[in-house]
């Protein structure tokens, strides 16, 4: 991590996908819109080992192919990193409702 | 006018029910998603700055078109188009395309290549859902290419009144652009039941067949045809007899539709006011999104084969998440989940035996689960854990002997003891059996089942010794044959004597014509295809008790 990044707040969080059809198009769009509403850089991955992808890219999020029961992990860095991760975790936990 | 051509039936998969008599209209090759070459010559490439400006303008135009489309459509359609709109705002997707333009590529070439790469990636995986979304990308690709070529939105294309649209494939936005007030329905070679187009067609009641098995060149424009999206057939040069038959089906459908829509939200009662339980059959929980639990008394059959469609059987957590979601939808109403019913016409990779000489009389249903306790236990554990959260019933398919039920119950008991020892929340689900095998129907009283559910589709084929997937035997596979009725009556009597519930979850319950017969047999619980709920309730309303006479 470089010096600039050290100054930024880092946040981590995770949530399990409830929807039986998994992270399909509508939830993926909701997720990216919510991520974009934050200034922080936000990344997401499925499981503990996969590559991180940009949570603000609907194309990348769609290609996660995150199925039902999969755990979405978020990490963010930036001024509102904690708020971004909390909002995204809450979105997944309420099954993308609203 | 004489019709020289003989009637010809082309098979397909019904994606949205309905019937249309009309003429073939071919979807032209200049629309999005088609394999059009026309856009390749739309404009001449300029300097990299010009190309960049052209691409920016095309993206902006595509956005504006999507905005206008979304504004004019309902929520479901808008949400589908929103994915495309979101892609136009995806910097990760767009930046490399603009980089390529900067490096000298034409706007058209860069966009075309990048989107083709993404489409190939979406289609390439095993993931059926992601493959289906490739159509959305193709849709978007065409829209931007049209904008680059200086073409406006096609708007509502003029097509003949009542025409049957045939196409290689339809993109969601093209589907929405078409004037379905004028068009009767559609038949496409591509697509699947889970594609966005199929979802849209079902939601709007537009008859649609996917997977049409014909080269489009063989379909002459304006040729008279019948679109039978109930059976999944496109009939070319229909005979007078076929036309008359379809005409009367359309008539009956129109009358039925209006009344059924009205009956949907009403209570399921007979003409004499007797309440009948009407539940739904669920093949795939995805359909629950579009259904209201208020319209039914719960779920009488949840098939779990869809869970096992992948290469590996699903783990406990994945199954539990699905079962919980279904219980949450039902909101306290009973939910019956059937354990894996693989084998027969539903092979499951890695579980069911391959190439059994006689699969319908082979190791299927519970027989297969008992032969694979390692797979069965995972399902029972997930079901027992879900049972902590709502009224869950577990139903065993293809049961022949009481000893099989006893063996399954022992496994369930072991699993419950394990969960208790692990301190994991769980409940004891009711454990019932399907009545599908004639031996089980004749000796139903001997089974220590918590409930019974008659699976009429298999029962009919086993009683009549007529495979249900063999059209040549359609005349023998009679669901209302007295032998079948006799077995249903005996099963109902056995359930009454034991004081446990019995219902029927096969196609017989979904057919308004056979509903009175089932009530005559003493059944008061029917589990039906969700699309048939209103029609079944309507049939119940017309039921005035067992008819006198023969």
pLDDT digit string, tens, across residues B33-48: 333 333 344 566 788 8
What are B105-159's pLDDT values in tens digits?
999 999 999 999 999 988 887 777 788 788 889 889 989 998 888 765 554 445 6
User: pLDDT tens digits, residue range A22-58?
Assistant: 888 889 999 999 999 999 999 999 978 888 999 999 9
Residues B77 and A49: their CA atoms lie apart, in Å, by 36
Q: Which of A18, A21, A53, A93 to mutate to test the interface with B (most CBs of B within 10 A)?
A: A21
Render pLDDT for B54-65 as a digit per residue (tens, 0 to 9). 899 899 889 888
Q: Does the structure show a pLDDT above 70 at A8?
A: no
Ranges B131-135, B391-395, B410-414, B487-491: which has the least confidence: B131-135
Please give the average per-residue pLDDT across B205-218, as a whole number: 88
Distance CA(B193)–CA(B243), nearest Å, equals 27
Confidence grade of residue B74 (pLDDT, cut at 50, 70, 90): confident
Interface of B with A in 121-160 (CB under 8 A): 121-122, 125, 127, 129-130, 133, 136
For an interface test with A, the pick among B321, B330, B382 (most A C-beta atoms closer than 10 Å) comes out as: B321
Q: Please check whether residue A10 lies inside any domain of the structure.
A: yes
Query: What's the sign of the alpha-carbon dihedral A16, B339, B13, B294?
Result: negative
Q: Which residues contact A94 (CB under 8 A, 6 or more apart)?
A: none
Cβ pair A68:B118 closer than 8 A = no
Give the pLDDT confidence of B369-386 residue by residue, as tens digits: 999 999 999 999 999 999
Between CA B289 and CA B307 the distance in angstroms is: 18
Question: How many domains is chain A partitioned into structurally?
Answer: 1
The C-alpha of B66 sits at a distance from chain A's nearest C-alpha, in angstroms, of 15
- Asked, for residue A75, whether it belongs to a domain, the answer is yes
Residue B324 vs residue B176, higher pLDDT: B324
- Beta-carbon count within 10 A of B10 CB: 18
B39 is catalytic: no
Is residue A18, in this structure, part of any structural domain at all?
yes
Higher-scoring residue by pLDDT: B185, B135: B185
- Domains of chain B are 8-27+159-254 (3.50.30.10), 38-148 (1.10.274.10), 264-541 (3.20.20.60)
> What is the DSSP secondary structure assignment for residue B232, as one 8-state letter?
T
pLDDT of residue A23: 86
B324 touches chain A (CB under 8 A): yes
User: Does the residue A98 lie in any domain?
Assistant: no
pLDDT > 70? residue B28:
no
Q: A5-14, A35-44, B17-26, B425-434: which has the minimum mean pLDDT?
A: A5-14
Output the pLDDT for position B40.
40
Short-list B450, B525, B435, CA closest to B487: B435
Nearest chain A residue (CA) to B287: A21
Q: Residue B27 gets which letter from DSSP? A: P
Question: Is A70 inside a domain boundary?
Answer: yes
- Please say whether the beta carbons of A29 and A58 come within 8 A: yes
**Of B31, B296, B426, B505, catalytic:** B505
Whether residue B296 lies in the annotated active site: no
Note the pLDDT of residue B344. Answer: 65
Poorest-pLDDT segment among B179-188, B255-264, B387-396, B467-476: B467-476
CB A39 within 8 Å of CB B92: no
Nearest CB among A54, A65, A69 relative to B125 is that of A65
pLDDT category of residue B470 using cuts at 50, 70 and 90: low
Q: Give the CATH number for residue A29.
A: 3.30.1340.10
Q: How far apart are CA B479 and CA B499, in angstroms?
A: 27
Radius of gyration in angstroms for the set of CA atoms belonging to chain A, rounded to a whole number: 13
Are B19 and B226 in contact by the 8 Å Cβ rule? The answer is yes
Tokens describing residue B438: 């004639």
On whether residue A42 sits in a domain, the answer given is: yes
User: Residue A18 corresponds to which tokens in the numbers above?
Assistant: 């409830």
Mean pLDDT in residue range B316-332:
94
Q: Where are the alpha helices (DSSP H) in B33-106?
A: 48-72, 75-88, 91-102
DSSP label at residue B263: H
To the nearest 10°, the Cα dihedral for A40, A41, A45, A49?
Answer: -110
Cβ-nearest to B321 among A33, A62, A68: A68
Cβ pair A21:B83 closer than 8 A:
no
Cβ-contact B54, B143 below 8 angstroms? no
Task: Dig out the tokens for B216 from the structure.
Answer: 């489009």
Residue B216: what pLDDT?
A: 86
The rounded distance, in Å, linking the Cα atoms of B93 and B286 is 29
- Is-contact A58 A51, C-beta < 8 A? no
Domain range holding A68?
3-93
Cα gap B195→B172, rounded to integer Å: 9
Task: Answer yes or no: is A41 within a domain.
Answer: yes
Which one of B86, B125, B326 has the shortest CB-CB distance to A58? B86
Q: Does residue A79 lie within any of the structural domains?
A: yes
Given A33, A54, A68, which is nearest B318 (Cβ)? A68
């Amino acid at each position: 991590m470089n010096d600039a990044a050290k100054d930024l707040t880092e946040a981590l969080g995770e949530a399990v996908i409830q929807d039986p059809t998994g992270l399909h198009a509508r939830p993926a769009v909701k997720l990216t819109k919510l991520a974009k509403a934050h200034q922080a850089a936000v990344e997401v991955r499925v499981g503990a080992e996969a590559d991180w992808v940009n949570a603000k890219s609907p194309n990348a999020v769609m290609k996660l192919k995150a199925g039902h029961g999969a755990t979405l992990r978020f990490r963010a860095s930036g001024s509102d990193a904690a708020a971004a991760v909390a909002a995204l975790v809450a979105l997944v936990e309420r099954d993308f409702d609203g | 006018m004489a019709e020289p051509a003989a009637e010809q039936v082309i098979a397909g998969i019904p994606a949205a029910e309905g019937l249309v008599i009309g003429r073939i209209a071919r979807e032209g090759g200049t629309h999005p998603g088609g394999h059009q070459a026309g856009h390749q010559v739309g404009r001449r490439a300029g300097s990299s700055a010009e190309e960049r400006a052209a691409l920016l303008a095309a993206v902006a135009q595509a956005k504006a078109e999507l905005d206008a489309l979304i504004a004019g459509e309902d929520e479901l359609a808008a949400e589908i188009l929103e994915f495309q709109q979101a892609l136009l705002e995806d910097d990760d997707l767009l930046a490399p395309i603009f980089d390529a333009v900067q490096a000298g590529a034409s706007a058209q070439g860069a966009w075309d290549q990048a989107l083709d790469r993404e489409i190939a990636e979406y289609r390439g995986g095993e993931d059926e859902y992601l493959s289906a979304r490739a159509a959305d990308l193709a849709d978007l690709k065409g829209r931007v290419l049209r904008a680059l070529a200086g073409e406006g939105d096609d708007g509502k294309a003029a097509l003949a009144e009542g025409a049957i649209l045939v196409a290689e494939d339809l993109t969601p936005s093209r589907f929405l652009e078409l004037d379905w007030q004028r068009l009767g329905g559609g038949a496409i070679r591509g697509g699947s039941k889970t594609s966005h187009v199929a979802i849209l067609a079902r939601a709007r009641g537009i008859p649609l067949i996917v997977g049409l098995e014909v080269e489009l060149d063989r379909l002459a424009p304006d040729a008279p045809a019948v679109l039978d999206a109930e059976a999944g057939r496109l009939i070319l040069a229909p005979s007078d007899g076929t036309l008359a038959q379809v005409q009367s089906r359309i008539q009956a459908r129109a009358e039925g539709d209006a009344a059924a829509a009205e009956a949907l939200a009403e209570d399921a009662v007979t003409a004499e006011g007797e309440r009948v339980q009407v539940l739904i059959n669920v093949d795939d929980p995805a359909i629950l999104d579009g259904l209201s639990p208020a319209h039914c008394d719960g779920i009488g059959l949840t098939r779990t084969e869809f869970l096992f469609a992948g290469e590996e059987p699903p783990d406990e957590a994945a199954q539990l998440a699905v079962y919980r979601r279904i219980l949450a939808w039902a909101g306290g109403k009973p939910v019956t989940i059937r354990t894996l019913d693989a084998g027969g016409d539903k092979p499951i990779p890695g579980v069911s035996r391959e190439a059994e000489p006689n699969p319908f009389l082979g190791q299927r249903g519970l027989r297969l689960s008992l032969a694979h306790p390692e797979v069965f236990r995972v399902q029972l554990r997930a079901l027992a854990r879900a049972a902590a959260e709502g009224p869950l019933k577990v139903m065993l398919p293809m049961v022949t002997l009481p000893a099989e039920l006893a063996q399954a119950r022992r496994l369930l008991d072991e699993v419950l003891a394990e969960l208790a020892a692990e301190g994991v929340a769980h409940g004891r689900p009711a454990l019932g059996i399907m009545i599908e095998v004639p031996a089980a129907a004749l000796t139903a009283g001997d089974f220590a089942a918590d409930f019974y559910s008659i699976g009429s589709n298999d029962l009919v084929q086993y009683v009549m010794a007529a495979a249900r997937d063999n059209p040549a035997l359609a005349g023998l596979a009679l669901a209302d044959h007295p032998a079948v009725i006799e077995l249903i009556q005996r099963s109902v009597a056995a359930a009454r004597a034991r004081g446990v519930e019995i219902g029927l979850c096969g196609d017989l319950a979904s057919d308004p014509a056979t509903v009175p017969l089932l009530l005559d047999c003493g059944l008061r619980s029917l589990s039906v295809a969700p699309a048939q709920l209103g029609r079944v309730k309507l049939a119940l309303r017309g039921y005035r008790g067992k008819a006198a006479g023969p």
